[in-house]
């Protein structure tokens, strides 16, 4: 990664200021607002691949909803993981408690992909069914890019994007579905959240519709949340819709009061985005199981299953047989033979957990069969690299980068009926080609847009 000679662009910090003006901000470790790492050039994506990105979203939303509605499948899929993962065990316990199908479900998801080297195919990295972030900030990048393009005389333009609008529509529909005019929206947040502006941008979109949001941490909910007649209350406020921007990590539920907070939500009639089954439907273990066509066919009709399956990368449990280069062998043996072709993933979310190369080898060699069963092996994806210019901590840099493309989905169901199922916008995260994790706060990622 080379620092760019700033004279080539601007000497006066215009890029940083423009980024701030477009709301591309996050808190740094000292609690100060800073611009987010952001690219200064959009990511190229073929129009037909972008169309496929959009087309897959309602299918993935339906798939996750149907998996979430199949308690027996989830329990079967995750019981093994729960044995070695106390967090999954806690969530599975809560899922087991509720035998009634959720009367309404609100799902705000983001499906992430890399493209194949030629940019023609999408390969799913993962489906995020809980706390999918950057729907606020991600929607501001295109406007920033277009302003920057004008200023620098660039000929490209960015594809406009506004995920918060579609998500706010879904919140409005969920409030109506709950059916109590005084019902409120609660955001469950992390203490000391650094990605706060991202959430505020959604709050702004809701405020424009006259919807005011309450914010609480799980710990606060453990102390304050009450059930009255099955409904969730904070003091006198009845909570119709609960949106989780926390709960992704076991650490978020470390204290007994935090766990009590989620238990109260789970036992109430609030429309939680996500509810616990939907969160579990987004686990990496479930993602792996769904790559088996017989399993997938339980949840999607043949045409939809075929389309979704086209976006699957090779995924397997370490002790499953796979066929690679025409040879059948255990995934474990294939990965030990060629660790550079795989990623080993534990059932953890939130970045920084994946194992590569010698770490992968060491982990696979040291684990018992039971320990291995809590991990999945995934084919290592090799997206196309391109030169680009980025801005991080006030400094411009130029280097070879790769982009991960995400697409947000909003789904609302009432009983068996799907009330709303839409793709609502995209996210691009771009990182230097040699960086592994593309998180904006947690990794080496930069916010980006799609070139129009």
Would residue 345 show up in a list of annotated catalytic residues for this protein?
A: yes
Which residue in 352, 211, 346 sits closest to 284, CA to CA?
A: 346
* Smaller CB separation from ligand ADP, 128 or 242: 128
Q: Is the dihedral of CA 83, 89, 93, 96 positive or negative?
A: negative
Among residues 61, 128, 268, 403, which one is catalytic? 128
Would residue 431 show up in a list of annotated catalytic residues for this protein?
A: no
DSSP codes of every residue in 270-318 = SEEES-HHHHHHTSHHHHHHHTSHHHHTTTS-HHHHHHHHTTPPPEE-T
Shortest distance (Å) from residue 308 CB to ligand ADP:
17
> C-alpha distances in angstroms, 108 versus 136, 170, 279?
13, 9, 11
Would residue 429 show up in a list of annotated catalytic residues for this protein?
A: yes
DSSP codes of every residue in 352-378 = S--B-HHHHHHHHHH--HHHHTTEEEE
Those residues whose C-beta lies under 8 Å from the C-beta of residue 352, and which sit 6 or more positions away, are 437, 439, 442, 443
Shortest distance (Å) from residue 253 CB to ligand ADP:
16
- φ/ψ bin of 210: left (φ > 0), alpha (ψ from -120 to 50), beta (otherwise): left
Which residue in 452, 394, 307, 447 sits closest to 3, CA to CA?
A: 394
Which residue in 252, 250, 284, 265 sits closest to 95, CA to CA?
A: 265
Shortest distance (Å) from residue 347 CB to ligand ADP:
10
* Smaller CB separation from ligand ADP, 114 or 397: 114
Among residues 61, 107, 110, 203, which one is catalytic? 110
* Smaller CB separation from ligand ADP, 313 or 360: 313
Which residue in 421, 423, 387 sits closest to 405, CA to CA?
A: 423
Among residues 245, 259, 284, 422, which one is catalytic? 284
Would residue 350 show up in a list of annotated catalytic residues for this protein?
A: yes
* Smaller CB separation from ligand ADP, 304 or 349: 349
CB burial class (10 A; 0-12, 13-18, 19+) of residue 257? Answer: middle
Among residues 184, 345, 380, 431, which one is catalytic? 345
Among residues 52, 126, 193, 404, which one is catalytic? 126
Would residue 338 show up in a list of annotated catalytic residues for this protein?
A: no
Shortest distance (Å) from residue 109 CB to ligand ADP:
13
Shortest distance (Å) from residue 28 CB to ligand ADP:
21
Shortest distance (Å) from residue 6 CB to ligand ADP:
29
Among residues 80, 119, 350, 443, which one is catalytic? 350
Would residue 285 show up in a list of annotated catalytic residues for this protein?
A: no
Residues near ligand ADP (CB under 6 A): 112, 125-126, 313, 343, 349-351, 353-354, 378-381, 404, 437-438
* Smaller CB separation from ligand ADP, 125 or 276: 125
* Smaller CB separation from ligand ADP, 150 or 442: 442
- Catalytically active residues are 110, 126, 128, 133, 284, 345, 349-350, 429
């Amino acid at each position: 990664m080379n620092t760019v000679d700033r004279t080539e662009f601007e000497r006066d910090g215009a890029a940083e200021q423009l980024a701030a003006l477009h709301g591309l901000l996050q808190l740094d470790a000292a609690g100060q607002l800073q611009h987010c790492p952001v690219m200064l050039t959009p990511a190229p994506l073929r129009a037909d691949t972008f169309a496929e990105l959009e087309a897959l979203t309602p299918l993935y939303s339906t798939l996750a909803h149907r998996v979430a509605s199949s308690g027996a499948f989830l329990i079967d899929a995750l019981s093994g993981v729960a044995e070695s993962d106390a967090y999954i065990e806690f969530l599975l316990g809560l899922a087991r408690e509720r035998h009634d199908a959720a009367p309404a479900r609100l799902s705000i998801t983001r499906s992430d992909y890399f493209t194949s080297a030629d940019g023609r195919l999408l390969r799913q990295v993962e489906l995020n069914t809980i706390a999918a972030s950057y729907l606020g900030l991600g929607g501001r990048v295109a406007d920033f890019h277009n302003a920057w393009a004008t200023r620098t005389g660039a000929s490209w333009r960015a594809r406009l994007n506004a995920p918060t609008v579609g998500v706010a529509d879904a919140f409005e529909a969920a409030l109506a579905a709950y059916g109590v005019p005084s019902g409120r929206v609660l955001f469950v947040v992390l203490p000391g959240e650094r990605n706060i502006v991202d959430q505020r941008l959604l709050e702004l979109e809701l405020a424009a519709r006259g919807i005011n949001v309450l914010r609480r941490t799980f710990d606060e909910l453990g102390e304050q949340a009450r059930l009255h007649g099955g409904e969730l209350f904070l003091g006198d406020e009845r909570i119709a819709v609960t949106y989780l921007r926390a709960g992704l990590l076991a650490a978020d539920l470390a204290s007994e009061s935090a766990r009590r907070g989620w238990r109260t939500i789970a036992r109430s009639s609030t429309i939680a985005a996500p509810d616990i089954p939907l969160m579990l439907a987004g686990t990496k273990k479930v993602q792996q199981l769904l790559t088996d066509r017989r399993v997938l066919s339980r949840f999607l009709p043949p045409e939809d299953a075929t389309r979704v399956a086209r976006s699957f990368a090779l995924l397997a449990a370490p002790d499953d047989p796979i066929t690679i280069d025409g040879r059948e062998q255990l995934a474990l043996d294939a990965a030990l033979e060629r660790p550079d072709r795989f990623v080993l993933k534990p059932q953890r979310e939130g970045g920084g957990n994946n194992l590569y190369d010698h770490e992968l080898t060491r982990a696979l060699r040291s684990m018992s069969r039971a320990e291995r069963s809590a991990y999945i092996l995934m084919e290592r994806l090799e997206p196309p690299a391109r030169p680009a210019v980025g801005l991080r901590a006030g400094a411009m840099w130029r280097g070879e980068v790769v982009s991960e493309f995400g697409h947000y989905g909003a789904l609302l169901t009432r009983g068996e009926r799907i009330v709303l199922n839409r793709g609502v916008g995209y996210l691009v995260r771009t990182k230097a080609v040699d960086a592994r994790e593309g998180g904006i706060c947690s990794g080496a990622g930069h916010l980006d847009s799609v070139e129009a």
